[in-house]
Structures are given as C-alpha cells and as structure tokens.
Structure 1
Amino acid sequence: MGMSVTISAATEADTEQILKLQYLCYQSEAQLYGDYSIEPLTQSLDSVRAELTRGTVLVARLGDEVVASVRGTVGADGTARIDKLIVHPRMQRHGLGGRLLAAVESSLGAAGTAKRFELLTGHRSEHNLRLYRKHGYTSVSTKRVDDRLTVVTLAKDVEAGAAAGALATTA
C-alpha cells in the first residue's frame, strides 16, 4: 500500500529533519558552483528554528518523513520572498516542488499583504529555473557574485500566483 505526500505547516519538531534534508539537497548546488560554504550548508539548527517563528515554513511528508520544504516571508513592501525550496532527491521529478511552490504562494498570499512573489537561484541551476518559469516566474534581474556564480532573481505578481494555484487545484 502506497502513502501519499501531505503538505502542512512545519513545527518545531520538524527542525532537525528540515536541516538534514537541506544539507542533502544543497550538495548538488555546492558541486555545481564549486562552493561548499554556501549558507544552506552552514546554517545552524538554531537559525532554522528562528525561521519557523519569523515566517511561513511548509513541509511535505511521506508518512513521518519530511521529504520537502520551503520557506517564505512577506516584507513591508509587499514582496513575498520564497526561499529554500528543497525536495529529497528520490522524490524529485514527480511534481512535488511545484505543489510546494503553489502551497507557499497560497499561504503567503492569504493575508492579503503580498503583492509580488520573488525568489532567487543560481544561473547554472537549470532545473530550478525551469520549475520557476513553468510556474509563471520571469527573470527580473541578475547579480554577479563572483567568477562562479550569478544570482538570478525571478518574480511574478500575486494575482498570477493565485490564478496558477486555482488551475493546479482543478487539474
């Protein structure tokens, strides 16, 4: 009998699983850019705990195991920043990243203060770029960090996110 993946708000009890999953998921990014000192690989458990209280943190569970997570906050200017969308490697390519992205957009947009969704990824992260573009994000800026990395900022209006979320729930 198979289990289905459920998405819900993260709890303090999920913190360690989120951090371990984050460490696993960002290995490929570190390898892609030749930099193992990136923040997701050096973040502390206390820092992840603090993020639980500062914003929206969602997890996807397969039984008791956290297999995906995403974080988001809404700034005073109405920009909802989506961060650290991670999916366990064995669960990738099954639509879970898209489901989690839609769920965090819905959650961040529910309060009515968000006007725009924004996220960042590296220029070589083709899978991430493809996922975000598929979900209506467009590149709004790039910033060269060093010889290895250019950060791409992608964004979309909240109305576009709500329309895409409605389509996803009816499909």
Structure 2
Amino acid sequence: MGMSVTISAAAGEDAEQILKLQYLCYQSEAALYGDYSIEPLTQTLDDLRAELGRGCVLVARLGEEVVGSVRGTVDDEGTAVITGLIVHPRMQRHGLGGRLLAALEERLAGEWAAKRYRLATGQRSEGNLRLYRKWGYERTGSRVVTRAFTLVTLEKEARTALAASA
C-alpha cells in the first residue's frame, strides 16, 4: 500500500530536513553552472531557521520524510517573492513541484494579500523554466551574475494564479 504526499506549513523542526534536501537538490544546479558556492549549498541551519520565521514555507511529506519545499515572502506592494522550490530527485517529474507552487501561491494570495508573484532561476535551468512557464509565469528580466550565470526573473499576476489552479 503506497503513501500519498501531503503539503503543509513547515514547522521549526523541519529545518534540518529542508536543509539536507536543499543541499541534495541544488547539486545539479551547481554542476550545470560549475559553481558549488551557490547560496543554497552554503546556507547554514541557523540562516534557514531564521528564514522559516520570516515568510511562508511549505513542505511536501511522504510519511515523515520531507520530499519537497518552497518559500515565499510578500513585500509592502503585494509582490510575493518565491524561492527555494525543491523536490527530491526520486519524486521529480510527478507534478509535485507544480503542486507546491500552486499551494504557495494560494496561501500567499489568501493570507498574505499577494497581488503578483516573482521568482528567478538560472538561464540554463530548462526544467525550471519549463515548469514556471507551464504555471503562467512570463520572463520579465535577466541579470548577468557571472560570465557563466545569468539569473532570469519571471512573474505573473495573482489572478492568473487563481485561474490556473482552477
């Protein structure tokens, strides 16, 4: 008998599992850009715990195991910045990333009054870009970080998010 994945708010005791999963998930990004000093691989447990207290953090669980997570904060103008969307490699390509994204969008619009969503990923991260386009995000800009890495910014309005999840 299989278990189903549940999505809920992260608790303080989830920080260590989220950090370990983040480290695992960002290995492929680091390899893609040849840079293992990226922030998700160098973030400390204390920094992550502080981040958990500042915004909305969701986790996907398979039993007791955290197999996915996503984070978001909303600024004074109603722009939600979404970061840290991770899914365990063995759970990828089954729609879990989209479920996490939709759950976070819904929570940010409802509880945090988000009017629009913004996220960013590397220009070579085709899987991420494909997922975000599928969920209605459109490219709004880019910033060269290093010769090998350009950060692509994507956005969508909150009403688009509600229609896409309907």
Range into which the TM-score falls when normalised by the shorter chain: over 0.9
DSSP 3-state at the match of 2:142: strand
The 1:69–1:112 alpha-carbon spacing in structure 2 relative to 1, beyond 3 Å, is closer
Q: Name the CA distance, whole Å, in 2 between partners of 1:55 and 1:146.
A: 29
Q: TM-score, normalised by structure 2?
A: 0.98
Whole-angstrom distance in 1 between the partners of 2:76 and 2:121? 23
Aligned partner of residue 76 in structure 1, secondary structure: coil
Deviation at 1:50, TM superposition (A): 0.7
For 1:25-44, what aligned pairs fall within 5 Å after superposition?
25-44=25-44
SS at match of 2:140: strand
1:6-45 residue pairs with structure 2 within 5 A? 6-45=6-45
**Deviation digits for residues 4-54 of structure 1, max 9, x if unmatched?**
000000001100000000000000000000000000000000111111110
Q: Give the direction of change, closer, same or farther, for the CA distance of 1:112–1:19 in structure 2 (3 Å limit).
A: closer
> How high is the sequence identity, in percent, across the aligned residues?
69
Superposed, 1:74-85 pairs within 5 Å as 74-85=74-85
- Describe how 1:30-69 pairs up with structure 2 within 5 A: 30-69=30-69
Amino acid at match of 1:36: Y
Show structure 2 runs of 5+ residues with no match: none
What does the per-residue CA deviation read over 1:54-99, in whole Å, with 9 as the maximum and x for residues that have no partner? 0000000000000000000001111000001000000000000000
CA distance in structure 1 between the aligned counterparts of 2:113 and 2:6, rounded to whole angstroms: 26
With structure 1 as the length reference, what TM-score do the two structures score? 0.96
* Structure 1: segments with no counterpart, 5+ residues: 167-171
Shift of 1:115: 1.1
Aligned residue identity for 2:36? Y
The runs of at least 4 consecutive aligned structure 1 residues that moved more than 6 Å come to: none
Task: Assess if the C-alpha contact under 8 Å between 2:56 and 2:73 holds in 1.
Answer: yes
User: How far does residue 113 in structure 1 lie from its aligned partner after superposition?
Assistant: 2.4
Aligned twin of 1:134: 134
* Number of equivalent positions: 166
Question: Letter of the aligned partner of 2:78 in structure 1?
Answer: G
Q: Which residue of 2 aligns with 1:153?
A: 153
